[in-house]
Structure 1
Amino acid sequence: MPAAIPPATEASDGTPGGKDWAVIGLIGTGHFLSHFYMLCLAPLFPIWRDEFGVSYAALGLSVALMSAVTAVGQTPVGFLVDRHGARPFLVGGTLIMALSVSAMAFAPSYWMILVLAVVSGIGNSVIHPADYAILGSSVDQSRMGRAFALHTFTGNLGFALAPPLIVFLAALANWRVALLIVGLLGVPVVAAILWQSRILQDQVRAKPKDGAPVGRQVLLSRPMLLFFGFFLLSSMAGSGIQSFLVTVLDELWGVPVAVGAMALTGYMTGATGGVLVGGWFADRYTRHLTFVVGLTGVAIALFLALGTLPIPHAAVPAVALLAGAALGASRTPRDVMVKNAAPPGQMGKVFGFISSGLPLGGAITPVPFGLMLDAGLPWLVLPTVALLLVASLLCVGSARSEVLREARRTAPVAAE
């Protein structure tokens, strides 16, 4: 049984817990918008194709540019967050995202939308390093797991709500009005962050000890590279599931597309709800690695079952739901392990670098998995997903071992 962490009604400094939830709410709302804006363009592609006379490949470039700029920008922004504080970057990044999406409503051509997608990606690149730096410094340790869990949950909620809301607004008025409305939603969020900025604490800029890694040395250290590998590989696996689960189930077992879609929805629902369970565990118990390995192992077994066993069609969505819940619940303890491994005052660059593995992983796997299907090898997709998850566990286990080894090595020095 994992060691329990005693619950706390107040933060360790006597600050009431209500302040923690206010911080979590502010940061979560900004994270919701970040993910919302990432998915509010794709539903407009059929309309833009007719209005601007461009191909779907060109339309896809808008989302690709936004994602790529976000991924590339996170690490350098993380350095700036650590040096100058997270709050001004959070305000500026959220405002840039909101105004760039609003400006798309006035775009005279598709090329202007591409330019604004790049600008939005620049704003979006601020979110992860700034959010994690503020949460890690503002929220009491006894609530850190739930803080990270709700951060992930609100991002997933943004992904889920963007397509139906943008389609509804476009049908109600037109696509320009729709983008103007959703873009301007960010302005009151920025105002709320500014109004409540006093409760958003920046990291303490601790001076590194002699011989301790700093700057790029931190990111190129073995533990951080391994954590990056963990994020990258698990994102590659998740991207494969999201992109091709319906197709694989159809080609392998003749699962109707409607049932396959229910399975994918079940997987996504389980993954979203699972993060909240993981947050509760991370706050209550200390054996985070055991929890991550155990639940990822459950997900691996379930994916292999979907890919190798003729499961009754009616049971397939339930199996996918359980697999998603297992993976989702493992995510929050993972984030807490990264937070605990980050050197003091360097959380921005650490999370900026490591979380860039998520969009990168999502960009890598769709083409190779698609080639497997084109080659008539649908049976290979889910075992490959399982193999990627096994490799991710090797990375996180090694990273955790390196962190513990370094802690033992420096403990005598700290005691002197």
Structure 2
Amino acid sequence: MTIAVSPSPSPRRTLTVCGGAHALHDGFTDLLNVLYPLLQAQFGLSYGAIGALKTVYSGAMASGQIPSGMLAERFGGVRVLALGTALITVGYCVAGLSGSLYGVIAGLLLAGLGGSTQHPIASSLVAAVYHGQQSRTALGTYNFTGDVGKVALPALFAMIAAALGWQQAMIVMAALALLGAGAILATLKPIVLHGKAEASKVVAGQDRPWAYRLLFAIHIADDLVRSGFLIFLPFLLRAKGADLPTIGLGLSLLFAGGAAGKLVMGWIGQRLGVVPSVVLTEAATTALILCLLPLSLDLALVLLPAVGLMLNGTSSVLYGTIPEFVSPEKRTRAFAIFYTGGSVAGATGPLLFGLLGDAVGLSTALIAVAAVALTTVPMVWMLRPAFREDS
């Protein structure tokens, strides 16, 4: 399946609007890490139960991504993306207005389904209007914009929740999602994803199924580490004496480092290559998580941007490599599968690590998270022949 575009949209506007949608959706997802400690305090939840809540959201997102791509091909990516953003409004309203645990579960399910539209559709829209080397740069920029939302929205949510309560904060976020849905419809030209595209409209690439599968496995391990660390970080900061606004600050520092990592590692990846870059980020992630455990709150906050830089740096290298291993007519499906795999990892990782945390404690569970990062090193080392084929 390849991308056809009619009429020809403005690449810059497409990247701007899709980047804005990415910022909103990623922010809406990661502000939930501020919400979970509040729910734990109100409802007396265990780490396993918190992990299960995150699994509801991530599982809905994972299950909806490939169907979202199919709907986009039939009804248009812009419409489906706007509808998904509006569905987040409904979900957050349900969670905020009900104030009950069952209402939160229902709201997370709806919001997760809405969030499933963004990654496969927006990335395909960007890839449809940028070609050749411009595609890699544009996708890297698009990948970076998600972290802008991760920096801003958790901090904003934490401030509103501290002042008004988490239910009112959810309603404010729902209103922001509704504004985002309207902006997508009002400013983005229709881009149809279907059938066959002109040769000049696609990005060169060769089918290397074994390399794509290996890249996919590295992506899964990387997402497990990221989701496992995120589920524990608010509780680690709280154990060090952080209050709610400080937890929000800590998450924003982590995501700010992550945003920088996506830009920096994209640049480093072009110069060092994929294999050395991934080895660097994953080994450094393990070391930094382990260093974080004994530190005081102040020193931990200082270290968090560096943790975020390495924790998120791998993703830019991985996403930008997909077009090298997949031919143009299969690329939209490859993106959808790749993002779905990450969402599945994001759904199962918090539950498994949460249960582990209940069994062995917070610090030991974080050591296990750090160890998973090292499993990517032998996998990326096996990927070297794929790049030698290009030389």
Counterpart for residue 334 of structure 2: 350
1:37 to 1:396, Cα distance in 2 relative to 1, 3 A: farther
Q: Deviations over 1:362-416 (max 9, x none)?
A: 4336258648955997896477245322144146546x46xx87x99xxxxxxxx
In 1: Cα distance, 2:215 partner to 2:154 partner: 32
Tell me by how many angstroms 1:318 deviates. 8.2
In 1: Cα distance, 2:169 partner to 2:366 partner: 42
Q: How does 1:9-408 map to 2 (within 5 A)?
A: 19-45=10-36, 54-57=43-46, 61-82=52-73, 85-107=76-98, 109-198=100-189, 201-203=191-193, 205-206=195-196, 221-242=209-230, 268-280=255-267, 285=270, 291-302=273-284, 324-326=308-310, 328-362=312-346, 363-364=348-349, 366-367=353-354, 370=357, 381=368, 384-394=371-381, 396-397=383-384, 400=386
Q: Give the letter for the 1:277 counterpart.
A: V
In 1: Cα distance, 2:289 partner to 2:164 partner: 44
Q: Give the letter for the 2:138 counterpart.
A: A
Q: Deviations over 1:176-213 (max 9, x none)?
A: 43222211112222222212232x53446228xxxxxx
Structure 2 residue matching 1:325: 3-state secondary structure: helix
In 1: Cα distance, 2:167 partner to 2:252 partner: 30
Q: Give the letter for the 1:358 counterpart.
A: G
Worse overlay, 182-191 or 104-113: 104-113
Tell me by how many angstroms 1:331 deviates. 2.7
In 1: Cα distance, 2:78 partner to 2:175 partner: 20
In 1: Cα distance, 2:313 partner to 2:148 partner: 16
Q: Give the letter for the 1:179 counterpart.
A: M
Which of 1 and 2 has greater Rg? 1
CA contact (8 A) 1:145 1:278 kept: no
Q: Give the letter for the 1:206 counterpart.
A: K
Tell me by how many angstroms 1:328 deviates. 4.0
CA contact (8 A) 1:203 1:345 kept: no
1:277 to 1:339, Cα distance in 2 relative to 1, 3 A: same
In 1: Cα distance, 2:153 partner to 2:92 partner: 13
Count matched residues. Answer: 362
Structure 2 residue matching 1:185: 3-state secondary structure: helix
Unaligned runs of 5+ in 2: 1-7, 198-206
1:293 to 1:327, Cα distance in 2 relative to 1, 3 A: farther
Answer 1 or 2: higher relative contact order, Cα 8 Å, separation at least 6. 2
Let me know the Cα RMSD of the aligned residues. Answer: 4.5
Identical-pair percentage: 21
Q: Please, what TM-score do these two structures have when normalized by structure 2? A: 0.72
Structure 1 residue matching 2:375: 3-state secondary structure: helix
Structure 2 residue matching 1:104: 3-state secondary structure: helix
Q: Give the letter for the 1:233 counterpart.
A: A
In 1: Cα distance, 2:32 partner to 2:283 partner: 36
